[in-house]
Structure 1
Amino acid sequence: MVRRRRKDKRSNAGHPVTAVEPEQPRPPEPVRVATPDEARELAQLLLGAGREAPVVVVSTPLGSEAPWIDADALAHYGRGLVPVYLLETGRTSYAFADAMPEYTQVYGGAGRMYSPDLAWATDWSRSRLFLATDPESGRRATDGLIGELARILPRGQRPQATQSFKGTVRMLVPPSRALVEGAQENSPLAMISPEESVPALNVTVGQLVAAGQQVEGRHDATTGYLDVSASLRSAGQALDGLEAGEVILVRVAAMTPDELVVEPYPQVTVRIPKMSVTANPFDSLDDLFWIGAVVRARVDSTAGGLSLSMDDVDDDEPVRPAPSLLPGGPPWLEEAGEAAWEGADLVSGGADGMPAPEPRPGAAESPAAASRNDVAAEDRADRGVTVVPSPLGVGGVAEGDARGRRIIELERSLADARERLARLAERLDQEREQTDHLRMELSLTSQLYREATREVAQLTERLQHSMAQHRSASRRLAQRRSERDAARDETGRREDSARAEPLFLEPEDQLRHEIYLAWAQLTPPQDKAQWPSRPTTSWVPVSSAPWMRLRAWITSAC
């Protein structure tokens, strides 16, 4: 072998050596669970106390082999550290549901992540259920599960960036992706995901970056994700410069009957008492707000911590723009779009049906402008165009102001209705999820009831059969006892009759016979030779008293 290797070296002398690239490991793939036995084994794995890594279970829609949730993307993100199982809906998912605690099942296209601490086994809210019924909801569920993995995996176990990367955001793909073009030539496209970079902030990609923004971070060529968490602005930098009296935007994080918890910046919470939110003591905070709502608040004080109030904020007050999460990024909070009446022109008409400009109050019309207006009016009249007077021009300024106020009131009512509709939609989703859980529980309960009913029927049948056998045995035992007693009585009667009836005609012979029987029955076998029975030739008359007593004694002894 040594000579052969030396010969090979000599034969290859002078030729260039080609570097052999190491074989790239295959990306992990989800494990398909296709049988009830495999489903029960999966449930046993999830409920095992020795499990150290989270597990993701994704189910397929009924009648389909492909899930709406991207199980391959989840397995790719987990890098083999997080097993991903693909559960088929049907008999397999039913077996999985039977083996799992209530409210922790997965079926019908939904997905869950099961943490290793097993707290979800007794509190199902610890394992969030992501529903998917179409491609759009499947993408949202995939992003949500990736966010769950990013939150639970230690930083060292997440997909690690391999090289620095600078680029420009070219496109947003709501709700959770942004495409970044590298600054260098031949740089690959990168993706920014809030679930990957800042999972704890609970923001969308539109709150993190904007198209055209310059970003930098660490790029993982395997997953394609760009981690921009190192560029995240701190809360102190973002909130620096706030002054008392300013109106800012905050996000509702939580609420209780007595206070509202808001975030002027992610993970910075400020508690506002109810009396500083509304002056009406009968108002309910959960009727006025919902989790995630963007509202206005006034800065009361910044000394010793940020203090906010909301009861004296007017709608027409200027609002300080919310800070950005990344340098050069968009405000992380924005109010809902402008109301229809804000900045709108209430004058309709115009040469081409477009709104005509409203002259400024007090501005004098020049002769040239008046001439142009007259010519335009004649031209519109010749073309048959009807001029609709401006609402502000009919009846004076007061009438226009009244209509404007009415429009403002209608817009506010519409905004309130939209807020209530959003809250109702959220509650409806929660009720639907709870209904699905209850329906599953009812199905499992019905199945258990049917099985228990069958078992009770079988036990009842066995009990009746055992009771019938017991009654039959009791009857046979009673019959045998009666037959035995009757046989004993018959034997006793025969013995008594045999004893009562004489066997000889002569009394002396009968007495001799009875004496012999008494000797045979009362004398032990070993004593019969010593005490033999001797025949008696002379007898005392049997009618004498001694003989009568002897005979009575013999009869009683035998």
Structure 2
Amino acid sequence: MELPSESPAQVRDQFDLADLVAYLRRDTRERPVVVLTIAPGEPSPYVSTARLAREADGRADIVTIPTDQLTRDFSGRLNDPQAGVFRGACRVYPPGTAWEDAPLTLPVRMARDASEIGALPRLVIEDLRRELARPARPPADGRGRADNRANQRPRTPTAPVSAPARPAGPVPGPARPAPPVEILTAADAAALASHLHNAVRNRPAVVVSRATGAAAAYADVAQLRRDLSGLADVFEICTPDASWAFSHGVPDMCQVYGGASRVYPVGTGWEIDPYESPLRFAHGMPDRDRVTRQLIADAMGMATRGSHTVQARQACASRVTGEVSGVVAGRALVKLDGQFPGTLWPELVEPGLPAERLFAKGMRVEGALDPDTRRIDVRGMRRPTDEAISRYRPGDTILVRVAEVAKGACTVEVFPGFLRTIAASEVADDGIDLRWMMSVGEVLPVWFGGHEDGDWLLSIRDAADVTDAVPAPSLLTGGPPWLVPADPDEAR
């Protein structure tokens, strides 16, 4: 994606996202940028890009971020997640870079209900007009853009695609007393809420509640503390009084009570987007293993995004090489020369992907071994996206995973983080509601027709049988295909 652009642009993947963030951070940028997002289940933004383009008349950039995951990654690349935008909302970013240091001065035009959606076009156009009416910024030293570029204050560099940018470490700030790990009183709950609201908190926080009358939490708190040692803090709300007090200390839709649990990522973006911190339900001890695994996956995914958390663990880690001896209970076991075995956790590589799709028996691995947990971090073995998908040829039937589904289009993942949108006309007859035909997470065969103007030509209706699809690439060097066709027996 090239910016500035005279026509509306759409973020297609992590590469485009990196370009957008770099452009927004460009100190010499003189044009406002309107960033639109698409609400889940909707085919397009609530504000017409054509109408905005007419309003801008070539003096502003119009960019759409189409999927929920990309909007989360957009927020994750910014120094403060509150500078992001998500779930159908829109924002106009002014020229310069001051907006990133003071994101709350930048209006977010939300789309939470019908009244907000109805007002959205008017508000966004008013914001755009206001920015276009501002006088042009003079060069810093009067000598023009080229000399002014040399005087830019340094910005946090944009990270590679596999590691979205975050501040390198927590910003120094006033120390706050740490809350107890067992939340028993209203005062404990207030301390926990204050801890979560701390913008310089440097580790994800797992908060587990107990159901009314239950003697213990449904999630396995001891296992959470053991498995997440050094990566996340684990708190248990043990009493009804503490649960009520905690609910009053965090925003609506961010509470935890009644046996449910959630992981709060670093920063404060979850306060304005509760979906950054998914609520995990459990209804009894039969759900114990499931909810515990969900929380571990959530916490590890967030620790991976908050890179300083993982770097802190790597400081005491040693480099090792070994061979995968097998995959058991969602973990890969690794034989290490002259040492006790190590383990590989899929959550630390690609949250949501099972171990069988990342590791295979006999696979050689290299990474950083945490001496306390025996966990090996092999994210350095991750293949670059362009290399992994480069062997696909026009005419191939390839495998993709459904990322989002709307009535008139679906978004699919060709490779983790590499998303493409397929219109309903390339799936079935016009008028078919795609939400009845596929679901998020489903693996589908897709015909690949090559590239046109930098975009991928994809069609589901023209795909060959799934058994004729070329194997999907591996996510890690030497690993198994990251996708395989669904097992027909499991589907039944």
Query: Which letter does structure 1 place at the counterpart of 2:296?
Result: D
1:269 maps to 419
Relative distance call for 1:63 and 1:177 in structure 2 (3 A) is: farther
d(CA) in 2 for partners of 1:219 and 1:102? 40
1:52 CA displacement:
6.0
The secondary structure found in structure 2 opposite 1:328 is coil
- Give the one of 144, 157, 162 matched to 2:297: 144
Q: 1:188 aligns with which of 328, 340, 343?
A: 340
Distance 1:69 1:260, change over 3 A: same
| Unaligned ranges ≥5, structure 1 | 1-27, 340-413, 419-558
Distance change (3 Å), C-alpha of 1:312 and 1:116: closer
Kindly report the root-mean-square deviation, in angstroms, between the aligned alpha carbons of the 2 structures.
3.0
User: 2:277 maps to what in 1?
Assistant: 127
Note the 1:358-507 alignment, pairs <5 A.
none
Of the three residues 139, 161, 179, the one matched with 2:333 is 179
Q: 2:457 aligns with which of 297, 307, 312?
A: 307
Matches within 5 A, 1:48-447: 54-72=204-222, 74-75=224-225, 82-115=232-265, 117-132=267-282, 133=284, 134-155=287-308, 157-160=311-314, 162-174=317-329, 176-182=330-336, 184-185=337-338, 187-199=339-351, 202-278=352-428, 280-302=429-451, 304-315=454-465, 318-338=468-488
Inter-CA distance 63–300: structure 2 relative to 1 (3 Å threshold): same
1: distance between equivalents of 2:447 and 2:199?
Answer: 50
State the secondary structure of the residue aligned to 2:290: helix
**How many residues in Structure 1 have an aligned counterpart in Structure 2?**
309
Change (3 A) 1:66 1:173: farther
Q: CA deviation at 1:73?
A: 5.0
CA distance in 2, matches of 1:281, 1:57: 46
CA displacement at 1:225 relative to structure 2? 0.9
Which residue identity does 1:195 align to in structure 2?
E
Identity %: 33
Q: Residues 117 and 305 (structure 1 numbering): CA distance in 2 closer, same or farther, change over 3 Å?
A: same
1:359-391 CA distances to partner (integer Å, 9 max, x unpaired)? xxxxxxxxxxxxxxxxxxxxxxxxxxxxxxxxx
- Deviation of 1:333 (Å): 0.6
Judge conservation of contact 1:61–1:107 (CA < 8 Å) in 2. Answer: yes
TM-score, normalized by length of structure 2? 0.56
Q: Is the 8 A contact 1:246 1:319 kept in 2?
A: yes
Name stretches of at least 5 consecutive residues in structure 2 with no aligned partner: 1-177
1:72 Cα offset (Å): 4.4
Alpha carbons of structure 1 residues 152 and 67: separation in structure 2 relative to 1, 3 Å: farther
Normalized per residue, the structure richer in helix is 1
Do the aligned residues in 1 keep the contact of 2:179 with 2:195 (CA within 8 Å)?
no
Residue 231 of structure 1, CA deviation: 1.3
Greater relative CO, 1 or 2 (CA 8 Å, sep 6+): 2
Code of the residue aligned with 2:208 in structure 1: it is V
In terms of fraction of residues, the more strand-rich structure is 2
* Counterpart secondary structure, 1:172: strand
Is the CA contact 2:422–2:459 (under 8 Å) kept in the aligned structure 1? yes
Measure, in 1, the Cα distance between the counterparts of 2:275 and 2:234.
20
Deviations 1:151-209 (A, max 9, x none): 442245452162222222233234x4222222x13x1121111222344xx42211101
Residue 289 of structure 1 aligns with an amino acid whose one-letter code is M
Q: CA deviation at 1:66?
A: 3.8
The structural deviation recorded for 1:92 is: 2.5
Structure 1 residue identity aligned to 2:384: S
Q: Any conservation in 2 of the 1:89–1:108 contact (CA below 8 Å)?
A: no
Taking the aligned partners of 1:41 and 1:95, their CA distance within structure 2 comes to: 10
- Distance, in Å, in 2 between the alignment partners of 1:244 and 1:139 is 43
* 1:116-175 Cα shifts (integer Å, max 9, x gaps): 54333344323211223433223323322322432442245452162222222233234x
Q: 1:36 aligns with which of 173, 186, 208?
A: 186
- Could you tell me which amino acid in structure 1 is paired with residue 332 of structure 2? A
Amino acid at match of 1:173: V
What SS does the corresponding residue of 2:461 show, helix, strand or coil?
coil
**1:1-36, CA deviations, whole angstroms, 9 ceiling, x for partnerless residues?**
xxxxxxxxxxxxxxxxxxxxxxxxxxx997111123
Separation in structure 2 between the aligned mates of residue 137 and residue 220 of structure 1, nearest angstrom: 25
Say whether the 8 Å CA contact 1:179–1:189 is kept in structure 2. Answer: yes
Query: Higher Cα Rg: structure 1 or 2?
Result: 1
| Cα distance in 2 between the residues matched to 1:171 and 1:310 | 35
- Which amino acid is 2:307 matched to? P
Change (3 A) 1:141 1:60: farther
- Gap change, CA 1:323 and 1:64, over 3 Å in 2: same
Checking the alignment, whether the CA contact within 8 Å between 2:424 and 2:432 is kept in structure 1 is no
CA 1:217–1:49: 2 relative to 1, 3 Å:
closer
What is the letter of the counterpart of residue 193 of structure 1?
Answer: W
